[in-house]
Chain A
């Protein structure tokens, strides 16, 4: 049983590792994982890629509530730039799945206005880099309106799309916006890692009556994760604002969100061989952040390392460290909290340079050992 459980835990980092393989190897790896999955998982669990999980979530929510509609560039007839909305236009038609011209500021404003008037739009940014063109509508029109109107106007909208580094897309297409959107009251910001995260959080976001920014990750779209029977249900939602402990541990707490969660689990597997047991927390939500989960973990382990893909200054890790200092968990720290982040440079193109700009497993292991002084 313990061996099975341990093997199960390995599935996740394998999944993350798969993401870095070229497509042909990825397919072979997926098959292998599927076989492994069938042998070792609970009876009704299946392997589902993040892409398919998102697609299911959209399909289910479009069906459930006719006020929900999807708009963005290439979401309809192209099946989505990253195929997230595959098949949806064919099923639901022009009214529910709308292709927009390349006009981020315009179509984002239109989506926000539609939400104010009672619809429930899902506004896709082809990547969040392009959301900067529309950020005024996200912040000033969507996030602040409920407050300014003393609660008389709700803006039930979801802004979603891939965020952060991809592979070889260079500086203008690799920025992480978790800190930017996480900064603003009035928004909720979620950042899924696994397929369950993706499906449960997207459904929850669509059902939420507030503007939600969902930061996906392009490199995770093709990665399969195990999805429990419960997660396959049409009513499966994950509460916004609750973190998940992906791996129990006693020596140190690793807190992360999105793709780096996979790297943390890989690092934890390596460190376990050396007798260091890491507790890995998947934040799942950036705002409102479940700092209580982090605090409870730090009280137990006395050491903290935060891991994120975004730049270090004013980032998610900086916020976690500040809040830990302010709270009761500070007294339980045996060493200063440490941050592992993207390098403080615009993303370069050459592979060797790019690889060294994102937090790798070795960087996490190094940080852990430094913190534990081993």
Chain B
């Protein structure tokens, strides 16, 4: 009711120009004048922030947990919305390009899980560190790599963020250590990064992510032990999307309480479909680590719409109904959108404008990714070593040599 009245009131205040703006929004072109009018109207019409009730986290070896209310500003909301939408559309574009055989090999998509990487990034600083497994495109973007460089890496072009040398599972940027292909191997690496954080004494933390499948890897338990023993500022994060490839959590784990699997390490179980829940939990976890209390574990309950990878249709081990139910009831982008609109942080039109801008950005990135040339053959031998004088690398036979520069 209140929503209807507000809408009616804003229509009256905006006048006929608004209708033009709305109509223009639908077709994707907004005139300068009306945009200015909308902008100045935004400032007057919308709340600058709102407070939200969020789900309480299940706690393990913790007296108190993260706050059950979260304050989100309009700007934050718009930023989270846009970022999640970019990741969503980028992953769907990757799906398209893979089916066109322009992307090859492995392609593990993140759509459905956007709230995890966006919520986590919102809680940490650019000087903190992140390492994850192979479902990494979302994190790669959140850590600052432009979409065009991600897509160009997927299509194996020289404009890819690692010049086409890595592909889907091996993208890196400052304070982001990939993209790791071997299940669970990134977890000790993350604790090592945390060790360096402690060693250098700059009060940085490392987010070390793994999935419900990886959670059963022995090396993770070795890492829990050492991280706790040495009080490393390592935040272990299990992104539990209920399936390790085709195996459901019930069939893989004797205990599916992943947030408790760290045993002596305190843990939280978090609603991974709610970006604010993830953010508040991550803030709590980073405070814990920065206070020198040692490692902490977060389980983010989330869901992936796609199969394990592009070669998995994703419906042999789960029902279409289940996927559809999550989409309709728990989609992270829809949840955020509803929150923003219902609390007067943004209008539907404004968010649609963002959608349009995002689509355009992804299209342009895809255009770049499909037209940029492949890396030159000379690149084949490069970067074997770091900071090394040039040397020769053997090709498929003794007469084919490549130069290797660092």
Binding site for B on A (CB under 8 A): 69, 95, 98, 100-101, 103, 105-119, 136-137, 140-141, 145-156, 185-186, 188, 209-210, 288, 326
Contacts and interface: CB of A to CB of B under 8 A. Distances in A.
B130 to A, nearest CB: 12
Nearest to B217: A105
A154 B386 contact: yes
Contacts of A185: 384, 393
A95 B196 CA distance: 11
A102 to B, nearest CB: 9
A146 B189 contact: no
B191 interface: yes
A151 B177 CA distance: 13
A152 B162 contact: yes
Contact of A106 (B162, B182, B225): B225
Contacts of A137: 185, 188-189
A26 to B, nearest CB: 38
Contacts of A118: 196, 200
29 contacts: A101-B226, A105-B219, A106-B222, A106-B223, A107-B222, A109-B191, A109-B223, A110-B188, A110-B191, A112-B192, A113-B177, A117-B197, A118-B196, A119-B199, A140-B182, A145-B178, A147-B383, A149-B170, A150-B166, A150-B383, A151-B383, A152-B173, A153-B177, A156-B386, A186-B384, A209-B385, A209-B387, A210-B386, A288-B391
B392 to A, nearest CB: 10
B181 interface: yes
Interface residues of B, number: 48
A113 B223 CA distance: 12
A141 B193 CA distance: 13
B165 interface: yes
A168 B166 CA distance: 45
A211 to B, nearest CB: 9
B189 A113 contact: yes
Interface string B116-136: 000000000000010100000
Given A69-B199, A117-B193, A110 B166 contact: no
B165 A109 contact: no
B188 A136 contact: no
B56 interface: no
Given A101-B225, A137-B188, A186 B166 contact: no
Interface string B194-227: 1111011000001000000000001100110110
Nearest to B393: A185
B347 interface: no
A107 B225 CA distance: 10
Contact of B192 (A109, A136, A154, A156): A109
Contacts of A105: 188, 218-219, 222
Contact of A150 (B165, B180, B189): B165
B384 to A, nearest CB: 6
A140 B166 CA distance: 13
A149 B166 contact: yes
Contacts of A140: 181-182, 185
B192 A116 contact: yes
B384 A147 contact: yes
Interface string B133-169: 0000000000000000000000000000011011000
A331 B187 CA distance: 52
> Which of B177, B189, B193, B195 has the largest count of A CB atoms less than 10 A from its CB?
B189
Nearest to B131: A113
A118 B163 CA distance: 23
A280 B101 CA distance: 55
Contacts of A150: 162-163, 165-166, 382-383
Given A147-B383, A149-B165, A209-B387, A114 B195 contact: yes
Given A117-B177, A145-B178, 15 more contacts: A101-B222, A101-B229, A105-B218, A109-B187, A111-B192, A113-B192, A114-B196, A116-B177, A117-B192, A136-B185, A149-B165, A151-B383, A188-B385, A209-B386, A209-B387
Contacts, number: 147
A109 B162 contact: no
Nearest to B196: A117
Contact of B385 (A98, A108, A116, A146): A146
B406 interface: yes
A156 B230 CA distance: 22
Contacts of B195: 110, 113-114, 117, 119
A181 to B, nearest CB: 15
A164 to B, nearest CB: 26
B388 interface: yes
Contacts of A112: 188-189, 192
B229 A149 contact: no
- The 4 A-B residue pairs with the shortest CB-CB distance in the complex, in nearest-first order: A113-B192, A109-B188, A106-B222, A117-B196
Nearest to A151: B383
B101 to A, nearest CB: 23
A103 B192 contact: no
Contacts of A119: 195-196, 199
B147 to A, nearest CB: 18
Given A150-B166, A185-B393, A210 B385 contact: yes
Contacts of B170: 148-149
A183 to B, nearest CB: 13
A98 B188 CA distance: 16
Nearest to A153: B172
A89 B182 CA distance: 34
Nearest to B177: A116
B383 A146 contact: yes
B267 interface: no
B398 interface: yes
A285 to B, nearest CB: 13
A106 B188 contact: yes
A95 B374 CA distance: 46
B314 interface: no
Nearest to A102: B222
Contacts of A95: 199
A117 to B, nearest CB: 4
Nearest to A104: B222
Nearest to B191: A110
A146 B384 contact: yes
